[in-house]
Structure 1
Amino acid sequence: MLRILQFLYNLRSFLLFILLEVIAIWLLVANNSPQGAAFFNSSNAVAGSILETQSDVRDFFSLAEANKALVMENSRLLEQLNSLKIEPDSIELDLDSTLSAQFEFKGARVISNSLRFAQNHLTLSKGSLDGIKPGMGIFNEAGVVGRVKSVSKNYSVGISLLNNDLLISSIIKSTGDFGTINWNGKDSQKAKLLYVPRHVQAQIGDTVVTSGYSAVFPKNINIGVISNIIQSGDPNYLDIEVSLTTDFSKISYVYLVENTQANELDTLYQKSEIPDEF
């Protein structure tokens, strides 16, 4: 305590100078309108800048919660939008809604994601307690991401599109021709569009989207853009390379989609002895 008092005593002249300066400024501002207005305008600007910086810092640390809320809201809106875009198979009959595939959407955060293997997976922050089920499709705002493989109470593991075991039913959007997307295990931004007949007039730059033929994804979710068409020796099919629209190195939040009639379709395929590749 003695040292503190001694330190203040040594600074007595400087402290007295500061006190007198403050008193002088206060008297100047209080008794002169122009100087007073200029002082308060400047102080307001400084205070506003400090408050804005404080708000920016607070908002930065709350981005995770904000993103989580946005994903939840977007999944709800996607479900509503999908229910409004049901395409009937006849213009003469009013179809009952149960005849059209219904999809439900949920949001989740990616907590783990691999890129360097031939069979990559991702882990999501939602599980069975949140309604996540094996077989649900995974996508984000850019395009297809993968498919749910297994689920625990609070987490789920999905097969990434960057997994050479995963096949995605797809079509070339401009022509409507059917094919199958499969990753070749090499470039994380490229995949192959398989089983497209050689007579198809595919062009570089054509968009490839989900076909809606499988029970996993609705129609028209982006997959990629045709980047190369190779004249291979196969007499039946084109060798098509697709640049994926999803950047798998930057996935943070995803949507999960469930076809509520998937079990019925699977049962029907089994009875008909039709293999379900997707």
Structure 2
Amino acid sequence: MKNLLQVIVRFHFTILFLIIELVCFLLIVNNNNYHKTVFLNSNNAISGGIYNKVNSFSDYVRLTKINDKLSNENTLLHNLLSENYKLSADSFFFYQDTLFKQQYVYRSAKVINNSINKQRNYITLNKGRNQGIQTEMGVVTNNGVIGIVKSVSDNYSTVLSLLNSRLKISAKIKKNNHHGSFYWDGKDYRKARLIEIPSHVDIKIGDTITTSSFSSVFPEGILLGTADEVLPSSGGNFREIIVLLSNDFNQISYVDVIGDLLKDERLELENEVEK
């Protein structure tokens, strides 16, 4: 308090001058419409700029919550798609008063670890057994296939990335339904290969490549990429296609894990036939 009084005594002329200046400024603004208008406009501009900065900072802080919300909404929409339901004319389902029986269930998850620079790349998700994730489930984004769940703990799961030389997926050329095997050759993380396509098949640069109905993991028609280069046949009956992947694996943040409710029934029947 003593120091404050000393400062006031030392600078009392300066303080008095500033007070008088402020009083004069207020008198001018209050008694002149032009000056009042200029002052109010300037005040609004300054306060508006401050509020805008504060609001931008608040939006940035809320980004994580917003992304989580959008991911959950996207998963909900996926679950409502007609492709996830199996139309049945069986009297059993009509008896149950159900025309459609759901086949695929989507669960959202966040990527917490990801690699793209190895021959065998893996992805870690923040969801596991407690959240309904199981091994051999497909993993996708809005842009297409990401991989297949390899192992699961209570609250985490690891995914065999599409960028893993051990992973092969049944794929097809969308426009003519010719099937082949889709895999990554370990070179460019933006490109993969589609093989076992008959030489006579018509395929052009830009043709869409999707998952096929032969897959027991993914629904048919999930995007894999587009034909980027068609390699000439080397005298055999088949040709290879270089595919530009639809997903940029260096930028994935949120994914959907697909559960096939009818998968066990299909595999059990197929295993029985093989025996």
Fold match by TM threshold 0.5: yes
Task: Please say if residues 82 and 103 of structure 1, whose CA atoms lie closer than 8 Å, have aligned partners that are also in contact.
Answer: no
Structure 1 CA distance, aligned partners of 2:8 and 2:213?
A: 79
Structure 2 CA distance, aligned partners of 1:235 and 1:100?
A: 44
1:247 counterpart residue number:
248
- State the one-letter code of the partner of 1:193: L
CA 1:234–1:61 in 2, change beyond 3 Å: closer, same or farther?
farther
1:126 aligned to 2:138? no
| More moved, 264-273 vs 177-186 | 264-273
2:195 counterpart residue number:
194
Cα displacement (A) at 1:6: 4.1
2:75 counterpart residue number:
75
Structure 1 CA distance, aligned partners of 2:260 and 2:102?
A: 7
Task: Please say if residues 173 and 210 of structure 2, whose CA atoms lie closer than 8 Å, have aligned partners that are also in contact.
Answer: yes
Structure 2 CA distance, aligned partners of 1:52 and 1:260?
A: 48
Cα displacement (A) at 1:37: 2.7
1:111 counterpart residue number:
112
SS at match of 1:219: coil
SS at match of 2:166: coil
Q: Equivalent residues in 2 for 1:146-165 (5 A)?
A: 146-165=147-166
Residue by residue over 1:93-144, the C-alpha shift from the partner in whole angstroms, topping out at 9 and shown as x without a partner, is 5785798671111111100001111110000111111111111111112211
**Structure 1 unmatched runs, 5+:** none
Structure 2 CA distance, aligned partners of 1:140 and 1:127?
A: 18
- State the one-letter code of the partner of 2:28: L
Structure 2 CA distance, aligned partners of 1:8 and 1:139?
A: 70
More strand, by proportion: 2
- So what's the TM-score if we normalise by structure 1? 0.89
2:274 counterpart residue number:
273
- State the one-letter code of the partner of 1:235: G
2:46 counterpart residue number:
46
Q: Equivalent residues in 2 for 1:139-218 (5 A)?
A: 139-218=140-219
Cα displacement (A) at 1:4: 5.2
Structure 1 CA distance, aligned partners of 2:243 and 2:268?
A: 33
Structure 2 CA distance, aligned partners of 1:158 and 1:192?
A: 20
Task: Please say if residues 101 and 259 of structure 1, whose CA atoms lie closer than 8 Å, have aligned partners that are also in contact.
Answer: no
- State the one-letter code of the partner of 1:273: E
Residue by residue over 1:222-278, the C-alpha shift from the partner in whole angstroms, topping out at 9 and shown as x without a partner, is 11111111124261211111010100011111111111111111212211228xxxx
1:34 counterpart residue number:
34
Task: Please say if residues 86 and 103 of structure 2, whose CA atoms lie closer than 8 Å, have aligned partners that are also in contact.
Answer: no
Structure 2 CA distance, aligned partners of 1:200 and 1:123?
A: 38
**Structure 2 unmatched runs, 5+:** none
1:224 aligned to 2:225? yes
Cα displacement (A) at 1:47: 1.0
- State the one-letter code of the partner of 1:128: R
Task: Please say if residues 199 and 233 of structure 2, whose CA atoms lie closer than 8 Å, have aligned partners that are also in contact.
Answer: no
Structure 1 CA distance, aligned partners of 2:226 and 2:78?
A: 23
CA RMSD of aligned residues (A): 2.3
Cα displacement (A) at 1:151: 1.1
CA 1:167–1:5 in 2, change beyond 3 Å: closer, same or farther?
farther
1:136 counterpart residue number:
137
Structure 1 CA distance, aligned partners of 2:169 and 2:136?
A: 12
- State the one-letter code of the partner of 1:105: Y
2:22 counterpart residue number:
22
Cα displacement (A) at 1:211: 1.5
CA 1:167–1:25 in 2, change beyond 3 Å: closer, same or farther?
same
Cα displacement (A) at 1:26: 1.5
- State the one-letter code of the partner of 1:20: I
Aligned residues: 270
- State the one-letter code of the partner of 1:16: L
- State the one-letter code of the partner of 2:175: S
Task: Please say if residues 150 and 156 of structure 1, whose CA atoms lie closer than 8 Å, have aligned partners that are also in contact.
Answer: yes
Residue by residue over 1:10-48, the C-alpha shift from the partner in whole angstroms, topping out at 9 and shown as x without a partner, is 444433333222212211222233322332222122111
SS at match of 1:49: helix
SS at match of 2:149: strand
Structure 1 CA distance, aligned partners of 2:29 and 2:218?
A: 69
